[in-house]
Amino acid sequence: MLLAAALMQSCSISKKLPPNQYLLIKNKVEIEKPHKKETVRELEGLYRQKPNSKLFFVFRTKPYFYLKGNKGKNNGYRRFLRDKLGEQAVLLDSSYAQQTTKRMANYMKSKGYYYAEVKYEVETNAKKQAIVSYHVTKNTQYKFGPYYLHIADKEINKLVKDHMEESFIATGRGLDHDNLYKEQERIVNLLRNHGYFTMSKDFIDFDIDTAFPDNYVSVGLNIQNPDDVHSHKKYYVNDVTLEIERSISGKTLPPSDSVKTKRFYYEPNGYRLNPEVLDRNIFFDKGALFKQDNLNRSYGRLADLGVFRFINIQPRTFERNDSGFVNYYTRLIPSGKYDFILEPQALTSDQNNTVANQGRNYGIALLAQFMDRNVFKNAEILQLTYRGSIEAQGQVKTAGFFNSTEQSITTSIIMPRTLFFPSFDRRIGFLSNKTSISVSGIYEINTEYRRQVLTTGYNYQLNRKLTTYNVSPLEISYIRSDIVSDVLEERKKDNLFLQTLFANNLIISSRFGFTYTDKPIAKTDFTVIRWEVIELGGNTITFLKELFGDNKDASGRYRMFGINYFQYVKTAIDYRYNHIIDQNNAIVYRGFLGAAIPYGNSPDFVPFEKRFFAGGVNSLRGWRPRSVGPGSYSSSTQLDYSGELKLEFNVDFRFNMYNKWLEGALFADAGNVWNVKPAAERPNAHFDSNRFYKEFAIDAGVGIRLNFEILVVRFDFALPLHDPRFSENERWIVKDINYDWLKNNTNFNFGIGYPF
């Protein structure tokens, strides 16, 4: 009721204003073309006075709540309305507009438009509302011309000259003061990475001369000496000391003898950490030039070990015989050895293992995790994880509300090094390297089948600045499945796919992939790419079987320990582009392409765990989970909706609705899955280049998201628009839109986190 009143009254706030006062409802920038979108965005960020935000793009409810909270007794309820929901109405103040024009003019000058003109205009209406327009006339932009170096130190002069191709200042490029700041920072980093420890921005400045013709400016780089006599000194690494803090969790450990290695002094003070671990993760070599990058990388590597809660590296300089030296003293405080996490969970997911079930899962779970740091004295982390859950799975109603249970236990050892490949660990280009070895077991039972899975494998993770590489040389999974449903058992008799799925199966694979993101700290556009480049299964076993002349079984397949094993190749790429319109609006695009091809020892099917599905809260939101495809095949007795090829495209327009925590979305999805090979019993289920584009399932919808920063709760409502199950001329299913049609066709999705 209160919100309804606020919506009705929000439009009438301005009518209550005294004479000569106006409610500011909009600012806008008008700048002559051509111009960059970033320029408009930057100018919009300079407003000194911004209007009250809107709810649902229409209603300004905050001033109403503010006024309501100021009426009557000043109690907790009134304060909540005024301080939490409310905001004082923003009234036009011309002095703020004048300040904004000055800020915009200064900004344009910083971009090389020295004679830009900025004026503002106020438009009012009978509702006592005001719109302020800022008109920006760029005039001519100055450009970088000659670049001169004025450097007293000959050695520094040569070093800067040798790296001029990296400069942010180039003849003909538009004058931009940001590039001068970047150039200053570049030169400081360049010199600090060549031994000049004391170099800072205080020694560097620029002279700008606009007296050149054709709106060019000359730039003079000045690098001053510390005084008029002495040049900047180069500094060299001298002694390196690493000391483990003796006090851990209130306990004082006994002192221990120092250890001297080839590269540093080590004082463990009772903490049993192999010095080789530290040797791999610091980059200070005695006698080498000081390098800032080596200092930064050492900080990052030590922090990434995960066994220290405090790291402090202190470079201490001294001079001897007119040379500069740096002693590094590193103080390390270990984290607690043990951690235990007990976490109850509420569940909702699309990931159903049953082929006959397309509904969502709801349930509860308990996660228990034990962590032991530095378990083998080489900074390894041992993790033991148990998870138990009970779920109401999909739309099955025959076994009570909770009809599924799953228990799993996982043991992992995470090592901060590249096992068997030590040369990678000393490469400064890698921010961190990890090797993990894990063993896990899963026991699941639901109304249709019982499944037991035993998995083991090891994985390398190599992290660079923008890219994380994942290499899994070996993963082994043994799956044992038993049908408990009489209906499913009967269907299995004439279904080769179900027979393969519910046999004892073995998957032995290796894979390589990477994740790339250029997401910045600032709110600018960014890209995320997740590419499982290649996954190969079964090749090594088949090679050995053929090498030693093993016999195939009656079905023409090799077996491993009497068990079926799969041979396949798989790749999948997930591309996401985030276009940030402003601080309140963004458009996110996603494209997914995946292919899994069976061959050799299993020419008919890819393992169920490696197949693709479409539909659900993070996929095609107009359909239930795993209910689309393959292709345009449809049957009333259909159990399997998976495919070996997948194409999917999604777009989200995301906008802030209220106080940053209430967000809205408009979205659309399109995609499907297909099989690789045609099958007479499943017409139009395979991929055909002449018709695949006609078989996309398409939906559109709206969403509401509650953004609590650490958690995003999502409610999406989607309508299917194009359904490939129908004949080609009947696939557009949007016809007479009325209440009944909307009620019967709207698919509700509840999710945690953004869909992509």
pLDDT in tens, 451-486: 899 999 999 999 998 999 999 999 999 988 888 777
Give the pLDDT confidence score for residue 383 in this predicted structure. Answer: 96
- What is the pLDDT at residue 316? 95
Better-scored residue on pLDDT, 653 or 88? 653
In the beta sheet, which residues pair with residue 330? 242, 313
Question: Per residue in 543-592, pLDDT tens?
Answer: 888 888 888 887 788 888 888 889 999 999 999 999 988 778 899 999 99
pLDDT value at residue 366: 87
**How far is it, in rounded angstroms, from Cα 26 to Cα 738?**
36
Q: Is the CB of residue 390 less than 8 Å from the CB of residue 403?
A: no
Checking if the pLDDT of 5 tops 60, the result is no
Per DSSP bridges, beta strands 747-752 and 559-560 are unpaired
Q: Which residues of 471-481 are buried (b: 16+ CB within 10 A; e: fewer)?
A: bbeebebbbeb
The helix or strand, by DSSP H or E, that contains position 244, with its residue range, turns out to be strand 235-244
Torsion of CA 81, 82, 85, 86, to 10 degrees: 140
Cα–Cα distance, 131 to 28 (Å, whole number):
8
Q: In the chain, where are the structural domains located?
A: 2-137, 143-223, 235-334
Please tell me the CATH superfamily of domain 235-334, with its number: membrane protein fhac (3.10.20.310)
pLDDT tens digits, one per residue of 363-401: 788 889 999 999 999 999 999 999 988 876 555 444 455
Structure tokens that stand for 606 in this block: 């890819």
**101-139, pLDDT tens digit by residue?**
999 999 999 999 999 999 999 998 888 888 999 999 999
In tens, the pLDDT along 584-616 reads: 889 999 999 999 999 988 888 888 889 999 998
Q: How many CB atoms lie within 10 A of CB 19?
A: 5
Same fold, 2-137 and 143-223: yes
Burial class (CB in 10 A: 0-12, 13-18, 19+), 505: buried
Position 567 scores a pLDDT of 93
pLDDT of residue 497: 73
| CA 713 – CA 77 distance, rounded (Å) | 27
26-85 tens-digit pLDDT: 899 999 887 777 788 889 889 999 887 776 655 677 777 766 766 777 777 777 776 777
| pLDDT mean over 238-242 | 95
CA dist 486 and 490 (Å) reads 6
Positive or negative: CA dihedral 167, 169, 172, 178: positive
- The Cα 69–Cα 11 span in angstroms is 18
What is the fold of 2-137?
Ubiquitin-like (UB roll) (3.10.20)
Cβ atoms 292, 190 nearer than 8 A: no
We find that the CATH architecture of domain 143-223 is Roll (3.10)
Under the banding of pLDDT at 50, 70 and 90, the label for residue 259 is confident
Quick one: pLDDT at residue 250? 52
Which residues, 6 or more positions from 650, have their beta carbon under 8 angstroms from its beta carbon? 589, 590, 591, 667, 668, 669, 670, 671, 755, 756
pLDDT, mean over the chain:
86
pTM score, whole prediction: 0.82
| 346 — pLDDT class (breaks 50, 70, 90) | low
